[in-house]
Structure 1
Amino acid sequence: MVREVIGHDDNDIVMLGDKLPVSMKLVQSMYNELTGKTENIGQMLNGNHEITFSDIQQLNFKILQLFEQYSVIEKSCCVTIYHINDSKEQFSSFDRFSFYEKGSKSPCENIRIEYNFLIVLPATKKPQSYKITVDLHSRAALKRKARAEVGVNRRIVQMVAFRTGMIDIEYVDYTVARNFMTAINEWYGSVNKNEGFWGYDTLQDNSHKISSVFSVLSLFCLFFVIYFNSEQLVPPAASLHQLYLAMVVSIFSAIFISVVAGRFGSACESLIDVYAPVSGLILNKGDDDVLSEQRRSNVKTVVGGILFTAITVGLNVFSSYAFLKMGITG
């Protein structure tokens, strides 16, 4: 039973039983040996990356460099590539992965790089097992795959595409795991990232309000037209029939403009929700094609959003003009 802990990291001294000083590293090793359990830390990745084969090589070099800091007595690397046609290729070493067929036409939806290794730390003198898993997704490929799916399967693929990767480390000694996690994060921070147009994240966070905003702004526009042209629309000596006609036309116009503007707003909302900066893997010919496809889709999405906004403005201008020309004075 641990009675007292001095300090705050793995090099700290823990007092066991009758004030027997033991290092925290040794306690962790004893716990692992007695229970057979390892701890786990993980991190989700959300960057809009474009990861090439060269980037994967740099990650492998970084991991191998870290191995040199420890007494690694056994290590292995396994690379698995998943394609959107539900096929996969598995390589038992990174060297074998170097011969991956780059002319393939089937885009990669995910690459999983898994390292398993044994480390002997000076404080324990006993091999400890570690496992590092790095998953990197291709949002562009997953979006193409989602279009081929229906129902629940499509929604599942779309949810997976929301995240662009994950790091998971099973460990015995936290300090070792933290060093590897920091190194992988530094590597990921150095890969090429894409940014969307300015303010797109704010628009997506508030896209559900766009339909209401379009409707309300259109109604305000109509209100100002009526207010500032009230004498032209309904003169002071207007009859009861003229007043009734003006009221009916005003209400009908308000309903029509609100509904149509709301529909355009909903269409614009859908486009904003679909938009996402290009993110993917560039490991074969199919990946190049699917990333180009995603870029074209994003351009169409932006143009469509601008077009729907322009149509709504045009609708307001036309409706106001038509309202004034209707001659509801008689």
Structure 2
Amino acid sequence: MVYHSNESKEQFSSFDRFRGYNKSSLNPVENIHIEYNILILLPHIRDPQNYKIEIDIHSRAALINRATKQIGPGGMLFRILANQTGEIKISYVDYNVSLNFMIAIEQWFQGLRLEKESVSLRLLKKHSHHFSFLFKYISVSAFLLMNYNFVLPRFNTESIRDFMGYAIFIFGFAYVLGGCAAKIGDFVEQSVDSINPLSFVSLNRGDDKLATETRQQNRGGSISAIVGVAVAVVVNVFSSYIASYLGIK
């Protein structure tokens, strides 16, 4: 059974019938469900035993695409499903026989062409929820440290009024800087999280088109993340210039 992104499905009773599948369809495949019912007559056993094998092959690209269009729990459900590329269920009588089936199916999965996922990207996505916190407090800490080094030495002979004026400006600027840095961190987090391993089912034109869109989306996410980091650097350099300027002035 083939499930498409437009919530339609096609059922085929055999692989011969499946060869007539419409490859020109523009609706990407979300899942392929394969079901086997096998009767096996084992040695020294009079009656044949029934084994039911169910294999689901998910298109992560199609599920992630559906998740981005869903709002609320529906989107979360599709994101959870998108974490798996396949699922196997075997209803068995004899464990050893079912284990042989499982090994054969897993070897078939392992023989598929794989696209390597960057180790650094996996690490960034694992800790991306900390970006907002890190960007905010690193920027504020750097700004306050620059003020401590450049501005504070000026007040050996200055009046308390001037000191309070500078203090209000510095901490107010630090508060605004922290908010801006947190927003930049959120932007970088979303950009990194939008980069997904390219995993899809290739049956029709819609699948190929979705694969191309996913590659472009990943490229755009990488560029956005780099731009976000660059903006954060510029903001920190600007805040450092403000601190040094106050110190010189």
Q: Same fold (TM over 0.5)?
A: yes
Contact (CA 8 Å) 2:128, 2:193: kept in 1 or not?
yes
* Residues 1:301 and 2:227 are matched in the alignment: no
Superposition map of 1:22-33 within 5 A: none
Q: Which blocks of at least 5 consecutive residues in structure 1 are unaligned? A: 1-79
* Residues 1:140 and 2:65 are matched in the alignment: no
Q: Distance in 1 between matches of 2:175 and 2:223?
A: 28
**Which structure shows the bigger proportion of residues in helix conformation?**
2
Deviations 1:204-246 (A, max 9, x none): 22222111111121122113312321366x2421111121112
Give the drift of 1:117.
0.8
Q: Which blocks of at least 5 consecutive residues in structure 2 are unaligned? A: none
Query: Which of the numbers 100, 104, 110 marks the counterpart of 2:31?
Result: 110
Contact (CA 8 Å) 1:242, 1:328: kept in 2 or not?
no
Aligned residue in 2 for 1:258: 178
Give the drift of 1:285.
0.6
* Residues 1:278 and 2:198 are matched in the alignment: yes
Give the drift of 1:108.
0.5
Contact (CA 8 Å) 1:246, 1:328: kept in 2 or not?
no
Aligned residue in 1 for 2:243: 323
Aligned residue in 2 for 1:201: 122
Aligned residue in 2 for 1:93: 14
**Which structure shows the bigger proportion of residues in strand conformation?**
1
Q: Distance in 2 between matches of 1:161 and 1:119?
A: 34
Q: How large is the RMSD of aligned CA atoms in angstroms? A: 1.7
Aligned residue in 2 for 1:76: none
Give the drift of 1:321.
0.8
Superposition map of 1:23-62 within 5 A: none
Q: Distance in 2 between matches of 1:147 and 1:266?
A: 17
Aligned residue in 2 for 1:230: 151
Q: Distance in 2 between matches of 1:176 and 1:235?
A: 83
Q: Distance in 2 between matches of 1:196 and 1:175?
A: 34
Give the drift of 1:254.
1.4
Contact (CA 8 Å) 2:37, 2:53: kept in 1 or not?
yes
Q: Which amino acid aligns with 2:73?
A: V
Q: Distance in 1 between matches of 2:151 and 2:4?
A: 65
Superposition map of 1:180-199 within 5 A: 180-199=101-120
Deviations 1:114-141 (A, max 9, x none): 1111001003121000011110011111
Contact (CA 8 Å) 1:129, 1:171: kept in 2 or not?
yes
Contact (CA 8 Å) 1:133, 1:169: kept in 2 or not?
yes
Q: 1:238 to 1:299 in 2, by over 3 A?
A: same
* Residues 1:292 and 2:212 are matched in the alignment: yes
